[in-house]
Structure 1
Amino acid sequence: MKHFGSLIWAALMMAAIVGWLALNTYARQSVSENEQAAKSANAKQAVTHPVRVQVRRITAIPRRETLTIRGRTEAVASVDVRTRTEGQVVKLNAKKGAFVQEGAELCTLDMGTREARLAEAAAMLAQTELDYKAAAALMKRGFAPETQEAANKAKRDAALAAIKQVRIDIERTRIRAPFAGIVEDQPAKVGDLLKVGDICARLVTQDPILVVGEVTENEVAKLKTGMTASTELVTGNRASGKIRFVARSADAATRTFRVEVEVANPQGLLRAGVTASISVPLKSAPAHKLAYSLLSLSDEGQIGVRLVNDDNTIRFMPVTILDDSKNGVWVAGLPDKARLITVGQDYVREGQLVEPVEMTAEAGS
């Protein structure tokens, strides 16, 4: 009897355990179903209420592209004026730094024996002229052969050439400026004995002056001679001119092409060797000016902006930066008209449905 009671007690305990387990399982199923229902409700609410973003309607405006070239100023010509005869310097006719006109005398050499040689050549010419005339008269009368007349004519012509040669040598003692410019250097001094090829002075042009720079392989095709360009020196001087030369072959070391802009410099305010920039206006094309804060990066690392399509979905548009300044950045690559996200662009993804809120005139100003 006692053993039978123990069996009843064990059966009751087993029933209690089974009941507790069933109740626990039912409770867990209820919680899971409630969570799923809550998630489904949240998803429906998200679809029903998309994320709000602030947008602004933008319109492209024509912008003239400008190519900026870094460079320097150069003289159109810089020449070492050399002697073409030898002699001692007796006079310097222009001071270093002075402006001289074309043909102005820079250095004067000693005449030496040139005047004596000129007198000798003149006397020889007079004698040969008399001999030639006498031979010609005798030949007409039949008292002299034609060969004698020809020989005397040759002597006369040689005397004429000798006079011309001495006069040229005398003229070369006056070393003159081949063009108008500034005497940049004057290595010759009074008393120096100069030989043929020695330097009397270094002359550089003042007006016009060149502003030169180098452009890349991608930029050279945009330029041609005759295009208008503006220049600005680090000294603050500004001037405009025209492109006079675009290199046809690249520099072997840098793979860049030389560009020369000719600028008027009548007062000599622009000096050679000064750092300068060249701005060349190119073709006009539609572009947008945006604030830096509106730019973002795609997952692939591209720079662009996020737009809202007509169906209110998000689209990332890569852009090309044309120019930047303190007031913003000019970009290309966007549609002429678009709705640009100005607030919330970092919290949305490609293709996501949003609720765009357009900026008012006050907010956009």
Structure 2
Amino acid sequence: MTASFSNKLRRGISPVMLAIVMAVALVLWLLLGDQRSAQDEAPPPKELAAEQLHKVETRWSQAEPLSREQVLQGQLLPWQQVQVMAQVSGRVEKLLKQQGERVSAGEPLLQLSDEGRSQQLEQARAIYRLRQKELEGARKLRASNYVTENEIVRLEGEVARAQADLSAAQLAVKYNQPVAPFDGVVDRHHVEVGEYVQPADPLMSVVNVERLKATAQIPQQEANRVAEGQAVKIRLLDGRELEGEVNFVSLAADPQTRSFYVEVEVANPESWRVAGGSATLRIQLPPVMAHRFSPALLRLGAGGELGVRAVDENGQVIHYPVRVVAMTEAGATVEGLPERLQVITQGAGFVDPGQQVRTELVPPGEQNDASGVAPIETQPLPGQGAAE
């Protein structure tokens, strides 16, 4: 029975079909054999890369609010200070205000001799009235065609000239008594009774020190940090302090120093005698989120910028440029970083930005690189403080 089945099978399969079946079987055997050989000879690529990744130590750093101040050296000036000048010539007849006396705006300071200016004023008034009468009469005659239009125009010009002369004479008499330009104090006398003065000669100095003006120069790299309205603490050389507010920051730098002019309005309720002296200005800047590291963690980037190296969530090294806010014995306080990052504390010098690394997270308090520095405290900006 078996022999007859085999004979029937050989008779039912052609040589061509048999060759195709054998070829397919051979191809399947070769494919299965290559796959098994590859698995036996080499480990997966991922296992190989994990063994060769560089290992670094890291710790988490959390940014904290940092109150900053810009420290500048400047000087204090009176809020207003004017030298009252003579505007007419004459002899000083009387000093109406003494040095140190308070004056109100428009109050007479001294009396100059008249030098005939009052008589000139009376004459100017009389001429002005005369010219007005002449013009009024001519206009009445013009209605009857007894006066030409040109005559009317000439008389109008005479009236205008007489009015200008009258105004000048009134001012000349007014200048016999120079007045205070604003509320303040007479700071200095520059003339004495009996002294003869000419126009533009200084007579008295009037100052207003109920408010003061603190001025300073801010370096160009720090100018954008200061704005109008920021609070300022002013420390005097004797240790006393005043408070003020930024009143003005110039838009253009001084071409000689490349620094910007800053003006601060300072309250002086007790009228301290400090105008003209030097002072230290501490401008209170808006707080920033800052990190504090050991200076050993700061490195230069490819472009020469100072920065810190950290690891992202994918285990790749990132170089973050930073700006140093303060450098003290407690560490380097920097800004420009994310609020939270995994900073490399050991091995940063052996890896490059973009490189994949293996990380070992060091718990807080176990760092051996002096990166566990003290908490952030208020610090002035570097390079701006001077000895007080």
Aligned to 2:190: 187
Q: Which amino acid aligns with 1:87?
A: G
Q: Which amino acid aligns with 1:240?
A: G
The match for 1:102 among 100, 105, 108 is: 105
CA distance in 2, matches of 1:67, 1:150: 68
The match for 2:275 among 268, 271, 289 is: 271
Aligned to 2:7: none
Q: Which amino acid aligns with 1:234?
A: L
Q: Give the Å deviation of 1:169.
A: 0.7
Aligned to 2:213: 210
Q: Give the Å deviation of 1:80.
A: 2.2
Kept in 2, the 8 Å contact 1:61–1:287? The answer is yes
Kept in 1, the 8 Å contact 2:242–2:266? The answer is no
CA distance in 2, matches of 1:126, 1:318: 82
Aligned to 2:47: none
CA distance in 1, matches of 2:373, 2:331: 15
> CA separation of 1:201/1:58 partners in 2, compared to 1, >3 Å: closer, same or farther?
same
Matches within 5 A, 1:250-269: 250-269=253-272
Aligned to 2:119: 116
> CA separation of 1:58/1:107 partners in 2, compared to 1, >3 Å: closer, same or farther?
same
CA distance in 1, matches of 2:181, 2:93: 21
Kept in 2, the 8 Å contact 1:91–1:107? The answer is yes
Equivalent position SS for 1:74: strand
Q: Which amino acid aligns with 1:98?
A: E
Q: Give the Å deviation of 1:72.
A: 1.9
Aligned to 1:239: 243
CA distance in 1, matches of 2:241, 2:299: 46
> CA separation of 1:130/1:285 partners in 2, compared to 1, >3 Å: closer, same or farther?
closer
Q: Give the Å deviation of 1:91.
A: 1.7
CA distance in 1, matches of 2:216, 2:76: 9
Matches within 5 A, 1:124-135: 124-128=127-131, 131-132=134-135
CA distance in 2, matches of 1:333, 1:134: 85
CA distance in 1, matches of 2:263, 2:142: 68
CA distance in 1, matches of 2:292, 2:70: 18
Kept in 2, the 8 Å contact 1:93–1:105? The answer is yes
Matches within 5 A, 1:138-157: 139=141, 142=144, 144-146=146-148, 155=158, 157=160
Kept in 2, the 8 Å contact 1:73–1:276? The answer is no
Aligned to 1:220: 223
Q: Does 1:68 align with 2:62?
A: no
> CA separation of 1:329/1:96 partners in 2, compared to 1, >3 Å: closer, same or farther?
farther
Q: Give the Å deviation of 1:136.
A: 5.2
Q: Does 1:90 align with 2:93?
A: yes
> CA separation of 1:130/1:274 partners in 2, compared to 1, >3 Å: closer, same or farther?
same
CA distance in 2, matches of 1:141, 1:248: 64
Percent of aligned pairs sharing the same letter: 22
Q: Does 1:59 align with 2:62?
A: yes
Equivalent position SS for 1:108: strand
Kept in 2, the 8 Å contact 1:106–1:200? The answer is no
Kept in 1, the 8 Å contact 2:291–2:333? The answer is yes
CA distance in 2, matches of 1:132, 1:58: 92
CA distance in 1, matches of 2:120, 2:364: 97
Equivalent position SS for 2:109: strand
Kept in 2, the 8 Å contact 1:296–1:303? The answer is no
CA distance in 1, matches of 2:133, 2:343: 104
Q: Which amino acid aligns with 1:182?
A: V
Q: Which amino acid aligns with 2:94?
A: K
Equivalent position SS for 1:205: strand
Q: Which amino acid aligns with 2:147?
A: P
Aligned to 1:10: none
> CA separation of 1:356/1:105 partners in 2, compared to 1, >3 Å: closer, same or farther?
same
Q: Gaps (5+ residues) in structure 2?
A: 1-56, 314-318, 352-357, 367-371, 375-388
CA distance in 1, matches of 2:157, 2:361: 105
Q: Give the Å deviation of 1:242.
A: 2.9
CA distance in 2, matches of 1:259, 1:196: 35
- Alignment RMSD, CA only? 4.8
Aligned to 2:34: none
Aligned to 2:384: none
The match for 2:251 among 248, 255, 258 is: 248
Q: Which amino acid aligns with 2:186?
A: V
CA distance in 2, matches of 1:203, 1:74: 13
CA distance in 2, matches of 1:349, 1:154: 91
Q: How many residues are paired up?
A: 302
Q: Give the Å deviation of 1:101.
A: 2.1
CA deviations 1:298-353 (Å, max 9, x no partner) are 899x999999999xxxxx99975423568766345777356898xxx9xx9968x9
Q: Give the Å deviation of 1:130.
A: 5.1
Q: Gaps (5+ residues) in structure 1?
A: 1-52, 311-315
